[in-house]
């Protein structure tokens, strides 16, 4: 199946799952529920959910099996964007061409909507334990680690405090690994866990996810040229070397999932798209 | 065992568990780890962890069995205080006689430290699945529900938007149930779950926890006399009726755990302390 066909077939599964998960904005407190939904619908590329589903399929399970991990990763991603946009962080008034949550609902509700989305992510995965047993708990450990002080949050702290005078590729990639790659890897490993993958498969998929995640973030840095971010692969490597680095990481990642065979083809296609996209 | 002896014997278990759980402030990002620890050490009364342990003991398990639920509830409580103190929420510069986290570390780090503590709470509980199986996942569902839009966060939204013109005891207690009682009940039910309680026991302990939680918050309102909070039992009921309401809820709660016998005595003592304390 080609990537476009895969995305149009699988995306409705994620949309429906998220729609059922998020509290209705007709129910009180309406403002909180509306704020929680603001950045979830419409979403972005849904890259993390698609990777989670493709990863489950790469180990022989259905996409449906991966939905709790797919949705949980998307909710963690969404909550982190809401908090990143806050005045005390990046102070961004827009996100995906629409007002960011604190502009639309105020700062107080934006902090709280992010907090509630994080709780909901773990709730969604924990509810999967009924049908998935202890692998759901293992997926929660992965996701919480990726989301917490040693992952997303720690990466954001170091990104905001990044010292241009000490910039090096190693320091930039340490932020990329935690701020972007950890959650991408957690989505991929989570999908595979719920799909019943073996421990060796999970380890290779974790490495695959971290490499694709860093390469994805390098691609982001290349697309953001002109923003002059201090913590950017473009800044420390230059355009050509950054592009080469992303391609090197991508091919190393692809080699890891080679022996999963043709059922991993969509996962490989998604990885190529994540790194080579122009949006 | 009397309550003082219980507290001095069991508290070190919680302190040690939390000490091992929280990342060291010697490791980078130091500022994040120090901010995460700021309000955890020294803590407050550790009421939620004590209730979680006493609840496990009330159903015949050891206090140690309950530690992941005890610590997780304390971390959710702590993160919510950090976010509640933010300038965009209650704007409190002090907490327990010390500078609040955003005063000591800045607003950005305070938001992020709260976010990381929430992730750590779920990580701690999910790690318990190795020894506790699927009851750890059920405890995560309980905790996430208590923490999220239908619990703590939703209660905080309604508290901040509370309209004095529409104040009624029903509205005040709806906030108390979500903002305070849900997490107290989750600690109690979580401890009992990890202690292997039966479903009927969990249901009664959940009701016990919610009643004790509301009575605890009424006690808080009575202690905060003079602050003139619109969302307060004191405001809608007056001092005498509020005190009677708290005593009524307490005795209803105590009756629920009567047939757990003498091993639930400490749990009952903790409930009495929570409602009748003068600090």
pLDDT (tens digit per residue) in A52-91: 999 999 999 999 999 999 999 999 999 999 999 999 999 9
Nearest CA distance, B135 vs chain A (angstrom): 9
Cα-flanking dihedrals φ and ψ of residue B83, to 5°? -70, -35
Could you give the CA distance from residue B199 to residue B75 in angstroms, rounded to a whole number?
Answer: 26
Task: Write down the pLDDT at residue B133.
Answer: 78
Q: Does residue B122 sit at the A interface (CB-CB below 8 Å)? A: yes
Using a CB-CB cut-off of 8 Å, the residues of chain B touching A119 are 118, 144-145, 147-149, 153
Please tell me the predicted confidence (pLDDT) of residue A87.
97
Reported as a pLDDT band with limits 50, 70 and 90, residue B278 is confident
The minimum CA-CA distance between A144 and chain B, rounded to whole Å, is 5
In chain A, positions 156-185, which contact chain B (CB-CB < 8 Å)? 156-158, 160-161
Interacting residues of B117 by C-beta distance below 8 A, sequence separation 6+: B36, B40, B75, B76, B78, B79, B82
CB-CB: which of B83, B108, B119 is closest to A144?
B119
Which domains are seen in chain B, by residue range?
3-276 (1.10.600.10)
> Distance between CA atoms of A273 and B150, rounded to whole angstroms?
38
Average of pLDDT values for A169-184? Answer: 98
pLDDT, residue B134, reads 81
Tell me the residues of chain A between 195 and 234 that have a Cβ less than 8 Å away from chain B. none
Q: What is the mean pLDDT of chain A?
A: 96
pTM (whole model) above 0.95 = yes
CA distance B193 to B135: 6
pLDDT attached to residue A129: 85
* DSSP E strand boundaries for B51-112: 94-95, 98-99
Indicate whether this complex's ipTM tops 0.85: yes
- Contact call for B138 and A115, based on CB within 8 A: no
> What average pLDDT does this structure show over A176-182?
98
Burial of B2 (0-12, 13-18, 19+ CB in 10 A): exposed
Q: What is the pLDDT of residues B112-135, one digit of tens each?
A: 999 999 999 999 999 998 888 789
Whether the link from the prior residue into B29 is cis, omega within 30° of 0, is: yes
Give yes or no for A147 touching B (CB within 8 A): yes
Which candidate in A149, A152, A166, A171 is best for mutational testing of the B interface (most B CBs within 10 A)?
A: A149
Are B83 and A111 within 8 A, CB to CB?
A: yes
Can you give the pLDDT at residue A134? Answer: 81
pLDDT of residue B197: 97
Q: Predicted confidence band at B237 (pLDDT cuts at 50, 70, 90)?
A: very high
Contact A29 B157 (CB under 8 A): yes
> What CA dihedral angle connects B111, A121, A149 and A211, to 10 degrees?
-130
Q: Is 90 exceeded by the pLDDT of residue A175? A: yes
Any CB–CB contact under 8 A between B60 and chain A?
no
Q: Among A18-32, A40-54, B155-169, B219-233, whose mean pLDDT is lowest?
A: B219-233
The CA distances from residue B42 to B74, B98, B111, in Å, are: 12, 10, 20
Which tens digit of pLDDT belongs to each residue from B134-185? 899 999 999 999 999 999 999 999 999 999 999 999 999 999 999 999 999 9
Token pair in block for residue A35: 């704020």
pLDDT at B132: 81
Chain B residues in contact with A114 by the CB 8 A cut-off are 115
Answer whether A53's CB lies under 8 Å from A191's CB: yes
pLDDT at position A225 is 83
The alpha-carbon radius of gyration of chain B (Å, integer) is: 18
pLDDT of residue A130: 80
Q: Using the predicted structure, report yes or no on whether residue B59 has a pLDDT greater than 80.
A: yes
Interchain CB distance below 8 Å, A120 and B149: yes
In tens, the pLDDT along A93-116 reads 999 999 999 999 999 999 999 999
C-beta atoms of B149 and A122 within 8 A: no
């Amino acid at each position: 199946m080609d990537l476009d066909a895969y995305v149009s077939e699988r995306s409705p599964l994620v949309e429906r799952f998220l729609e059922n998960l998020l509290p209705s904005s007709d129910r009180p407190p309406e403002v909180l529920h509306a704020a929680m939904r603001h950045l979830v619908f419409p979403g972005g590329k849904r890259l993390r959910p698609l990777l989670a589903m493709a990863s489950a399929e790469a180990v022989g399970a259905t996409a449906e099996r991966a939905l709790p991990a797919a949705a949980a990763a998307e909710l963690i991603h969404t909550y982190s964007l809401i908090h990143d946009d806050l005045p005390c962080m990046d102070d961004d008034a827009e996100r995906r061409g629409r007002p960011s949550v604190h502009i639309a609902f105020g700062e107080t509700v934006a902090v709280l909507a992010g907090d509630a989305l994080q709780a909901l992510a773990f709730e969604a995965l924990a509810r999967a334990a009924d049908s998935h047993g202890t692998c759901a708990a293992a997926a929660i450990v992965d996701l919480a680690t990726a989301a917490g002080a040693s992952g997303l949050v720690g990466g954001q702290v170091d990104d905001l405090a990044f010292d241009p005078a000490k910039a090096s590729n190693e320091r930039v990639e340490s932020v990329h690994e935690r701020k972007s790659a950890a959650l991408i890897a957690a989505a991929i490993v989570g999908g595979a866990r719920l799909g019943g993958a073996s421990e060796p498969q999970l380890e290779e998929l974790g490495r695959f996810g971290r490499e694709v995640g860093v390469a994805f973030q390098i691609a982001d840095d290349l697309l953001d040229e002109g923003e002059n971010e201090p913590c950017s692969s473009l800044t420390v490597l230059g355009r050509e070397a950054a592009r080469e680095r992303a391609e090197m990481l991508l091919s190393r990642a692809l080699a890891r999932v080679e022996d999963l065979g043709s059922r991993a083809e969509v996962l490989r296609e998604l990885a190529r798209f994540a790194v080579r996209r122009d949006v």
